[in-house]
Structure 1
Amino acid sequence: MKNILIASFDMEVGGVERSLVSMLDHFDYKQYAIDLMLYKHQGDFMNLISHKANLLGEIPQYSTFRKSIAKTLQDRQYTIGFSRILSKVHADILGRVRQVAEPGYYQMQLMWKYALPYLPKVEKEYDAAISYLWPHYFIAEKIKAKKKIAWIHTDYSNVETNVKLDLEMWRKFDHIIAVSNACKDSFLAKYRELESKVVVIENITSPDFIRNMAEKEAAIPMVNDERFKIMTVSRLSHAKGIDNAVKALRILKDKGYKDIAWYIVGYGGDEAAIKELIAMNGLDDQFILLGKKTNPYPYIKACDLYVQPSRYEGKAVTVTEAKILGRPILITNYSTAKSQVEDGYDGIICELSVDGIAGGIERLYKKHELRNDISNHNSNQEFSNTYELDKLYGVI
C-alpha cells in the first residue's frame, strides 16, 4: 500500500474544495493510504471529507495562513506575522506601480517566501505528496516524498506572479496536474520549460451526489419567484466578474427587462464593493446576494439560466454542475471557455464584456427554444468521470 499526502488550505465553500471532496470520495483506499493535511481545520465542507482519509492535526504555524495578520500576531506567531506584513506592503507597491488589478497572487508568493524559514518540516516520508492548491511551497520545501505532484485550477495567463520565483518552486515537482487542456495551454504559455511535467486530469464529478443534493431543499424562496431567474455560484472576487454582472443587469433593466432576477450564491472579499454597486444601480430587488451556501444545488436547479460572468477560469466546477442539473448555460469568452462549453450545444459563449453578458442573457431570455435545446442536451449527457483517477494512479 502506498502512502499519499494531500495538502490544501481549508474546506471553505468553493469549487476547488468541492472537487477535492469528490476526489477523496472516489479514491482507491485498498491501494492507497491517504493523509490529508489542511492548514486550517475550518469550512462548511469539513464534514464532507471521506472518513477513509486520515485528517492530520493542525500545525499552528501553517494555520496562520487562514488567519488575519492581527490574529497571527495575537497568537504570538511574530515572525510569520511580520513576514505577512512585509509581503502585503511589497505586493501593494507592485500593484500600484504596475497597475495590477489583483496583486493578491503575488502577495501569496511573497508571504510563503518570507515565511518559509519559520515553517516546520513534516518528518514522515511519503510515496507521493500532492499539493492541491497554489502556492505549493509546503510540498516543495517541507515534505519528503518519492514523487511530488502539484495541481493547477486556474488560467495562469491572467494571474500576475513572479515567474522566476514560481519556476524555482515548480522545478521541485515531478508532475503538474492541469484540470483541462485549456488550463494546461495557458500555464505553458507562461512556463514553457515545464511542458514535460504537465498532465491533464479533470476534476472528478459525481452526478448522483449532485442530483441528490439538489432535491434536499426544495422549499427555497427562490422557487416561488416568478421572474426570469439567473443563477451564479461564485466567489465574490475580481476574477469572477460579479461587478460586470451587476452592470449587465442594469443595461437589461434600462432596456425594459424588469422581470429578471439575478441570484448569487457565494461570498468573498469584494462583497462590500458589490453591494455598493448594486445599490448605486438601483438593483436591490433584482440582484440578490444569497451568501454562502453549503448546498448550492437546489438554487442551480431552480434557475432559468446559469451564468458564469468570469474574467478568467481554469475549469469552473459550477458550470459542469449546472450541466449535470440540466440547466441552460451562458459563460463569458475567457481564454479557457471553449474547453468547457461547446457554443450552441451545451451552452452559449458570449463576449467577455458587460455588453456581451447583457446581450447573451437577452438572447437566451427571448429564445425559449434555444434554452430548452441546451437544457435537454445537458440532461441527456453522462458526466461521471471517476476514470480520471486512473491517470493520477499512473502518475503516482
Structure 2
Amino acid sequence: MKKVLIASFDMEVGGVERSLISMLNNFDYQNYRIDLMLYSHTGDFMNLLPDQPNLLEESAAYKTFRMSIGQILKSGNISLGLVRLMAKYKANLSTSSEKGYKQMQYMWKYSLPFLPKHKEQYDLAISYLWPHYFVAEKVEARTKIAWIHTDFSTVDTDERVDIQMWNKFNYIVAVSEECKNAFIQKYPSLEKKVIVIENITSPDFVRALANEKIENRMLNDQRFKIITVARLSYAKGIDNAVKALKLLKDRGYKDISWYVVGYGGDEAMLKELIKEQNLEDSFILLGKQINPYPYMKEADLYVQPSRYEGKAVTVGEAQILYKPVLITNYTTAQSQVRNKYDGLICELSIEGIAKGIEKLYKDYKLRNRLTDNCTRTNYCNNQELEKLYQLI
C-alpha cells in the first residue's frame, strides 16, 4: 500500500474542513494508507472524521499555532512565544489593511528551528492549508503537494518568502481553474507545478444532513429568507451584505430577512453595524452551527457576498440542495456557477448585491429556472480523486 500523509490545522467549522472531510470519506483505502496530522485536535468537526485515516498524536509544538501568544508563553514554549511576537511586529510594519497573512507566514518561517521533524517517510505528503511549512520542511516524502483554497491575487503575502516555500513542493493543487489562474498571475514562475483538483462534494451526505431535525427559527419566518454560510471575516463580505439589505429595506422590500450561519473575528463589528442600520429583526446572525444544511434548506435564496474566494464549498452545497444562488463577481466566480443557468453573478458591490437580490426576489420564474437546472446537474465529483492518485 502507498503511504500518504495529509496535514491541516484543526477541525473547526469551516469550508476547508468540510472539503477535507469529503476527501477523506471518498479516499481509496484499499490501496492507500492515510496518516492525518492535525496541529490541534480541536473543533466541532472532529466527530465527523471517518475511521479509516490514522489520526496521529497531537504535537505540543505544532498545537501552539492555534494558541494565543499569552497561552504559548504560559505553556512554557518561550522560544515559540517570542517568535510569534517577532512575527506580529514584522507584519505590523506592512501597509496592508489585512496583515494576518504576512503574520502567519512569518510565524511559521521563524518557528521552524524550534519545530520537530516528522519521523515517518511517505510516498505522498499533502499540506492541505497554507502556509505549508510543516510538509515543506519537516516531512520526508517522494512527492509533496500543497493545496490552495483562496484567490492569491487578492491577499497580501511576502512573495519572496512564499516562493521559497512553494519551491519545496512537486505540485500545487488549486480548487478551481480560476483559482489556478489567479495564483499563476501572482507567481508566474510556478506555473508548471499548478494543477486543478476540485473540492470533493458528497450530495447524499449534504441532503441527508439537511433533513436532520433541529431547532430552526427560520421555520416560523414567513418572509423571503436569504441564507449565507460563511466565516465572519473581511473576505466573506458580510458587512456589505448588511448594507445591501439596508438598501433593499429603504426601497420598500420590508418582507426580506437575511440569516448568516458562521462565526469569526468580525462578529462584534457586524453586530454593531446591524444595530446602526436598525436591522436587528431582519439581519440575523445564527452563530456557529455544526450542521448548516437545515438552515440552507429552509431558505428561498443563497447569497455569497464575498470579496474573494478560491471556490466556496457552501455555494456548491446550496446548489446540491436545489437553491437559487447569487454570488458576487469575485475573481474566481466563473468557476463557481454558470451565470443565469444554475446561479446568478452580480457586481461585487453593495449596490450590486442589492440589485441581484431584487432581481431574484421579483422574478420567481428565474428563481425556478435556476432551481430546475440545479436538479438536473450532478454535483458529485468523486472522480477528481483520480487526478490525485495519478500524481503518486
* TM-score interval for Structure 1 and Structure 2 normalised by the shorter chain: over 0.9
Tell me whether 1:202 sits opposite 2:198 in the alignment: yes
Find the counterpart in structure 1 of residue 281 from structure 2.
285
How many residues align? The count is 392
Find the counterpart in structure 2 of residue 337 from structure 1.
333
- From 162, 166, 171, the counterpart of 1:170: 166
Q: CA deviation at 1:380?
A: 2.1
Q: Which ranges of structure 2 fall in alignment gaps of 5 or more residues?
A: none
Following the alignment from structure 1 to structure 2, what is the Cα–Cα distance between the partners of residues 313 and 29? Answer: 31
Find the counterpart in structure 1 of residue 315 from structure 2.
319
Following the alignment from structure 2 to structure 1, what is the Cα–Cα distance between the partners of residues 70 and 161? Answer: 27
Residues 80 and 378 from structure 1, CA distance in 2 versus in 1: closer, same or farther, beyond 3 angstroms? same
- Structure 1 counterpart SS, 2:143: strand
1:271-291 deviation per Cα after TM superposition (whole angstroms, max 9, x unaligned):
111111111111111100000
What are the residue-to-residue correspondences of 1:124-143 with 2, within 5 Å? 124-143=120-139
Find the counterpart in structure 2 of residue 274 from structure 1.
270
> Aligned partner of 2:194: which letter?
V
Tell me whether 1:41 sits opposite 2:41 in the alignment: yes
Identity percentage of aligned residues: 62
Following the alignment from structure 1 to structure 2, what is the Cα–Cα distance between the partners of residues 218 and 321? Answer: 18
- From 158, 180, 203, the counterpart of 1:184: 180
Following the alignment from structure 1 to structure 2, what is the Cα–Cα distance between the partners of residues 254 and 120? Answer: 58
Q: CA RMSD in A?
A: 0.8
Following the alignment from structure 1 to structure 2, what is the Cα–Cα distance between the partners of residues 260 and 356? Answer: 17
Runs of 4+ in 1 over 3 A off after TM superposition: none
Compare 219-228 and 111-120 and name the one that shifted more. Answer: 219-228
- Structure 1 counterpart SS, 2:93: helix
- Structure 2 counterpart SS, 1:154: coil
Tell me whether 1:232 sits opposite 2:228 in the alignment: yes
Q: CA deviation at 1:219?
A: 5.1
Find the counterpart in structure 1 of residue 388 from structure 2.
392
Question: TM-score, normalization: structure 1?
Answer: 0.98
What are the residue-to-residue correspondences of 1:107-146 with 2, within 5 Å? 107-146=103-142
What are the residue-to-residue correspondences of 1:44-59 with 2, within 5 Å? 44-59=44-59
> Aligned partner of 2:20: which letter?
L
Q: Which ranges of structure 1 fall in alignment gaps of 5 or more residues?
A: none
> Aligned partner of 1:374: which letter?
L
- Structure 1 counterpart SS, 2:156: coil
Question: TM-score, normalization: structure 2?
Answer: 0.99
1:251-287 deviation per Cα after TM superposition (whole angstroms, max 9, x unaligned):
1111111111100000001111111111111111110
Following the alignment from structure 1 to structure 2, what is the Cα–Cα distance between the partners of residues 90 and 230? Answer: 41
> Aligned partner of 1:164: which letter?
R
Following the alignment from structure 2 to structure 1, what is the Cα–Cα distance between the partners of residues 109 and 24? Answer: 29
Tell me whether 1:352 sits opposite 2:348 in the alignment: yes
Following the alignment from structure 2 to structure 1, what is the Cα–Cα distance between the partners of residues 93 and 271? Answer: 27
- Structure 1 counterpart SS, 2:145: strand
